[in-house]
Chain A
């Protein structure tokens, strides 16, 4: 069964005379290769890889900041870091991991894979695509530069709640630079989101209906809507803080009639959906990994699509669960608590569909598959502690404790990062034409998974016992467990180093991959495994025409 059919020669509505592409006016400009060629590139594959490279570099810094945090916390009365610098490390660890690592990495996979998966030659707006990527450089640059200004980098947490983020408590330009960096990263997200929606809506190959798109494309479509509606609100909120700091306004100053809690509403209106912005495309990646290495198609495709849409919609109705202790009314608590638990339903649909995808399949335990299965296990732990936290009495008890830190790291590391690993091992052969070493991959997986659990599982324990987050020292009784946590960090760091080594050493080897390096296209019959690895410029000689059969397999 072939994916493609020969287009009908006449009589069909789809047949049009081939447009004559005139000589491009840009042909006159010959771009040099190397760095200058990269600077001017508008190719979605080049930009996708740039996003991924930036994310990897960002992960080194974000990981180093986490290392500083763990070094400080490795004994209860440590003074390796000053309290101010500890706050800065907490803030920058979160900001870098969110805005420079996870979101760009998922955008990188989206950029690379979405046009190929829908049978297009590029994104709808290739120049805008380049703009979205390059905006992240000054965003990261501003964050980096803020380390060298008087007063140091921002230390008000990535949430930047006023009044902590206002001038009285955060003097120095750090917070202002952080806000401006968030603006640039936000603009990058918004322009990227517009690009993804237009690409997916308008540029699908003939025959690819919405319900035939690979799941990863669906997750990015929903993701782009979340970005488009949520990110401007974050920009609005942090702009208000910027104005309160520098221009005398009173948005969040009670003395002028302002209300700091309103900031939390605006901030979480973006930042709860941001959790899904950071995990939905990872859902897509592991769906493909699970199907590929079970030699099956994705189970329950339609249900999966609706579950992703439902998660996207519900994601905008639950932000108040971050504010149960901020003094919101009982009715609001009830609503946000209930809606948060409702999200567990579509998430459950996804988990069971993933398990059913693997069920009865011919399972190959490749590194990608291990990470995908690890994703399911760890994400379920994070999801269940999330349902606990949705209960107001429990949340009031453990709010701002390490229990919450444990919860969202199981979601973000166990979810997003494991998904990114699974996606990298699955698609690296397609992107580079080379396999990643499976033996090293095995070590990366076990080191990372054991390290991840050693780090974050004990945090539940100290959290329930009352260890507060964002405080540089703690009670002596928590020291033993914190030593274990810091040791877990070392395992994760080792896994990260090994992973980077594995990528570099693979890139130095010759290309060996064919179109279908994992040998699954006879089952899945999808576009991505039908073109060479790496794909040629513009992906397709002619735009493919899809037959009736679905391409939801991979």
Chain B
């Protein structure tokens, strides 16, 4: 039984014909989309479910099931890529076929992407809110800020400052890549995109190195609340850098295939916005967590 069907004419007495909306206008206003049925969303929820299952198993399965937990996490992440790719493919195909009116769909995607960024800002906001509130209550309780016992006595901001410079530069190169595409110089666009990706990778390497040094010196999430918020904030940011890099890589791949043109490159635009967002978050992390460390 289908969930709906057109009502049977005999069972649908229309007392109010003067409200007839089915008048056959020959002009279509806002081209509105006719949704294509798709299995990708339901498939994605199914594969994604492996990830929480893996987390539960990781936390509670003990050493014997640790391998299986990692397996579930890996499998969930990898198999999720299939519906994600399929879904993106449908969106691209729909846009190319011009189903819903290019302008209207582009407008929807732009607004939707911006709203998604807003929710990202809200998540980072919750961690920053935690950070500032903790600063305040530690000052009230202990009469001092960092360093708590177990934190580094001083913070050498050299390395993270280099990281900041690299990320900011990568934002610029990303914009240059965009400009090149607008100029129609596709190979230069590709080159600048590659530079952006390499800079992002260098940033991640610096962060990884820094983490390694700290962990070796015994400063971990378990040291104190500063260790907690430091690792979670930088780790969550690093996760976003990684996500951004995957997006940029996909964009690079599509540049290679030749998908984008001066007029049509929404996903490149969205990926670069995302990259800028990640950079701005890092400015905040750098200023409040690193640079002001000795000043607190």
Task: Note whether A and B form a binding pair.
Answer: yes
Give A residues with C-beta under 8 Å from B: 2-4, 6-7, 9, 14-19, 21-22, 24-26, 29, 31, 33-34, 37-46, 49, 120-122, 124-128, 130-131, 134-135, 137-138, 141-142, 149, 172-173, 176-177, 180-181, 183-184, 190, 193-195, 197-198, 201-203, 205-206, 228-233, 235-237, 240, 243, 245-251, 253, 256-259, 262, 265-266, 269, 433, 510-516, 519, 521-522, 525, 527, 529-538, 540-545
Task: Let me know if B52 and A543 touch, CB within 8 A.
Answer: no
Check B133–A259 contact: CB distance below 8 A: yes
Taking a contact as CB atoms closer than 8 A, the residue among B11, B111, B112, B225 that contacts A512 in the complex is B11
Q: Are A249 and B228 touching (Cβ within 8 A)?
A: yes
- B:139-156 near A, CB below 8 Å: 148
Query: Can you show 17 pairs from A to B with CB atoms below 8 A apart?
Result: A7-B27, A16-B28, A25-B97, A46-B3, A125-B108, A131-B42, A173-B60, A176-B59, A202-B111, A233-B125, A250-B224, A250-B225, A256-B228, A257-B138, A433-B11, A514-B16, A535-B4
Residues of B within 8 A of A176 (CB): 55-56, 59-60
Which of A181, A258, A521, A522 has most chain B Cβ within 10 Å? Answer: A258
Contact between B7 and A124, CB atoms less than 8 A apart: no
Kindly identify, within residues 41 to 60 of chain B, every residue whose CB is under 8 Å from any CB belonging to chain A. 41-42, 44-46, 48-49, 52, 55-56, 58-60
Residues B97 and A22 in contact, CB atoms below 8 Å apart: yes
Q: Which residues 10-27 of B sit at the A interface, judged by CB distance below 8 A?
A: 11-16, 18-27
B side interface size, CB within 8 A: 92
- Known: A197-B115, A229-B122, A514-B16. Contact between A537 and B27, CB under 8 A? no
Knowing A127-B87, A249-B221, A514-B16 touch, does A4 contact B21 (C-beta < 8 A)?
Answer: yes
Question: How far apart are A48's CB and chain B's nearest CB, in angstroms?
Answer: 10
Contact of B127 with A236 in the complex, beta carbons under 8 Å = yes
How far, in whole Å, are A193 and B14 apart by their CA atoms in the complex? 36
List chain B residues, Cβ under 8 A from A532. 6-7, 12
> B263 interface residue, CB < 8 Å from A?
no
Q: How far is the CA of A542 from the CA of B22 in the complex (A)?
A: 7
With A7-B27, A142-B52: A29-B108 Cβ-Cβ less than 8 Å: no
Contacts of B148 in A (CB 8 A): 257
Contact A228–B122 (Cβ < 8 Å): yes
Once the chains bind, are A521 and B28 in contact (CB under 8 Å)?
no
B134 at the A interface (CB under 8 A): yes
Q: A515, B126: Cβ atoms under 8 Å?
A: no
B34 pairs with A543, CB closer than 8 A: no
A138 and B49 contact, Cβ closer than 8 Å, known pairs A19-B28, A42-B37: yes
CB neighbours (8 Å) of A541 from chain B are 21-22, 24
For the complex, what is the distance from the CA of A543 to the CA of B23, rounded to whole Å? 11
Chain B residue contacts of A122, Cβ below 8 A = 32-35
Which residues of A are found within 8 Å of B221, using beta-carbon distances? Answer: 243, 247-250
**Which single residue of chain B is at the shortest CB-CB distance from A201?**
B111
Whether B261 sits at the interface, judged by CB under 8 Å, is no
Q: How far is the CA of A29 from the CA of B39 in the complex (A)?
A: 11
Say how far B237's CB is from chain A's closest CB, in angstroms. Answer: 13
Given contact pairs A134-B42, A138-B52, A265-B133, A545 touches B29 in the complex (Cβ within 8 A): yes
Q: How far is the CB of A123 from chain B (nearest CB, A)?
A: 8
A42: nearest chain-B partner, CB-CB? B35
Contacts of B287 in A (CB 8 A): none
A17→B27 CA distance, assembly (Å): 7
Cβ-defined contact, A131 with B37, below 8 A: no
CB neighbours (8 Å) of B35 from chain A are: 42-44, 122, 126-127
| Residue on A nearest B231 in the bound complex, by CB | A249
Contacting residues, chain B, for A201 (C-beta < 8 A): 111
Do residues B115 and A228 form an inter-chain contact, with CB atoms below 8 A?
yes
CA distance in complex: A530, B15 (Å): 11
Q: How far is the CA of A542 from the CA of B34 in the complex (A)?
A: 12
Bound state CA distance, A34 and B231, in angstroms? 49
Q: How far is the CA of A527 from the CA of B16 in the complex (A)?
A: 13
Q: Which residues of B contact A510 (CB under 8 A)?
A: 11
> B21 and A127: CB pair below 8 A?
no
Contact of B98 among A16, A19, A130, A172 (CB under 8 A): A19
**Contact present for B228 and A26 (CB under 8 Å):** no
By beta carbon, the residue of chain B nearest A18 is B28
Which residues on the B side are within 8 Å of A128 (C-beta)? 41, 112
A183-B52, A198-B115, A262-B133 in contact; A514/B126 too (CB < 8 A)?
Answer: no
Is the C-beta of B30 less than 8 angstroms from some C-beta in chain A?
yes
Contact across chains for A521 and B16 when beta carbons are under 8 A apart: yes
**A-B pairs with the 8 shortest C-beta distances?**
A236-B126, A126-B35, A26-B36, A257-B225, A131-B41, A232-B122, A180-B52, A42-B35
- Residues A26 and B6 in contact in the complex (CB < 8 Å), given A251-B228, A265-B133: no
Partner of B45, one of A16, A135, A180, A257: A135
- A sample of 8 more A-B contacts (CB under 8 A), given A37-B2, A228-B115, is A9-B27, A19-B28, A45-B4, A120-B32, A134-B41, A232-B126, A233-B126, A262-B137
A22 in complex: contacting residue of B99, B123, B222, CB < 8 Å: B99
B1 touches A34 (CB 8 A): yes
Which residue from chain B places its CB closest to the CB of A259 in the assembled complex? B137
Asked whether, in the complex, the Cβ of A266 is within 8 Å of the Cβ of B38, the reply is no
How far apart are the CA atoms of A259 and B225 in the complex, in Å? 9
Nearest neighbor of B50 in chain A, beta-carbon distance? A138
Contacts of B33 in A (CB 8 A): 121-122, 126
A18-B27 contact given A24-B36, A120-B32, A202-B107, CB 8 Å threshold: yes
